[in-house]
A = this chain, B = another copy of it.
Amino acid sequence: MKDVAREAGVALGTVSKVINGIPVSEKNRQKVETAIKTLHYEVNTYARGLKIQKSNLVALIIPNTHNPFFASFTDHIEAALYKKGMKLLLCCADGIPQKEIDYLNMAVNNKVDGIIALTYSDIGKYISQDLPIVVFDRFFENRVIPRVASDNFAGACLAVEKLLEFGCKHPVYIRFHSVFPGESDKRMDGYLHACSKYNLTPDYINVIDCEQKLSLMKDFLDKHKNRDGSLSFDGVFAHTDYHGYLFMNLLLQEGFKVPEDVQIIGFDGVSKFGNAEEGLFVSSICQPIEQLAEKCVELLMTQDTKAVPSLTLLPVKYRYGGTTRETGL
């Protein structure tokens, strides 16, 4: 910068002003700009960060990017940040609480301007009050942190309604959930609500996600076999597309037809190869991942005003994925 000033024959402050778009005489701005070009000058992020305490960096703390839902979320967060001229510090914490906290501290040390977190542990207590943070889905008891999530309650209702619309009489719910409370717990509430609304008897698996999920599904299936080998349910609302897919394979393996015998609707809207065109694994209640990501970024930037809602719910959509009978009425 000194060099630029010398080259342009102006003072340091003038160069700084040009860079930051502060009014300067046209003549000087020209001189400075050409000098910048000839010298290939670029501002030093550290010096600037040191001075103005702003990094344009946002940390995303997420379990991993393997999972296609997280992968997609990450992608959209990155895009949303890029649009705002910000950069993404990616932190994959594998859902390990200690790692999540490590990353949190790291993010703070690196003077990120904000944090977007999709974590398992309760990170609320580890984070200073004045660092903007937005969490996806999860609910932390000890501090009010703005949350963004899909409308899980409405999504679950929609799943049941769609199953009914496509001819199901007995939709069940297969829920394998996290131990940590979050907005996705509302899928259960939504299912129960829909059951009561449509006079259905609720019937579900409702356990913590674990290694034995396949055998638990198998048990569930066996318990619902009638004497004649048919099933006492004809529709499945699965907690996630993944679980829906697993359950579908189990059904197929047992000789049942999907969607002829049993229709399945999952949740998330995960696409094969991360590519919407290749379709879903199962028919699904799709989370608006792009909008969720954009909302997270938007709220993060608005943080200074205390007008940030503590919960923002975005609407979900049903999409066909091969495991329902759209035309089967």
Contacts and interface: CB of A to CB of B under 8 A. Distances in A.
A46 B71 CA distance: 30
A183 to B, nearest CB: 21
A94 to B, nearest CB: 8
A78 to B, nearest CB: 5
A10 interface: no
Contacts of A242: 273, 275, 278
Contacts of A281: 272-273
B273 A110 contact: no
A177 B246 CA distance: 33
B67 A274 contact: yes
A186 to B, nearest CB: 23
A281 B245 CA distance: 13
A71 B68 CA distance: 8
Interface residues of A, number: 44
Interface stretch (A28-36, A101-109, A129-137, A225-233): A101-109
Given A67-B273, A89-B87, A273-B245, A46 B46 contact: yes
A45 B75 contact: no
A49 interface: yes
Interface of A is mostly: helix
A111 B45 contact: yes
Interface string A306-319: 00000000000000
A72 interface: yes
B108 A42 contact: yes
Nearest to A270: B273
A89 B112 CA distance: 12
A88 interface: yes
Interface in A10-63: 42-47, 49-50, 55, 57
A174 to B, nearest CB: 16
A283 interface: no
A146 B89 CA distance: 24
A275 B89 contact: no
A96 to B, nearest CB: 11
Given A45-B111, A47-B50, A65-B72, 8 more contacts: A44-B50, A45-B49, A46-B47, A50-B50, A74-B74, A82-B92, A89-B89, A245-B278
28 contacts: A43-B109, A44-B109, A44-B111, A45-B109, A46-B46, A46-B55, A46-B111, A50-B50, A57-B89, A64-B274, A65-B75, A65-B78, A66-B68, A66-B75, A66-B274, A67-B274, A68-B68, A68-B274, A71-B71, A74-B74, A75-B92, A78-B91, A82-B92, A89-B89, A89-B90, A245-B273, A272-B272, A273-B281
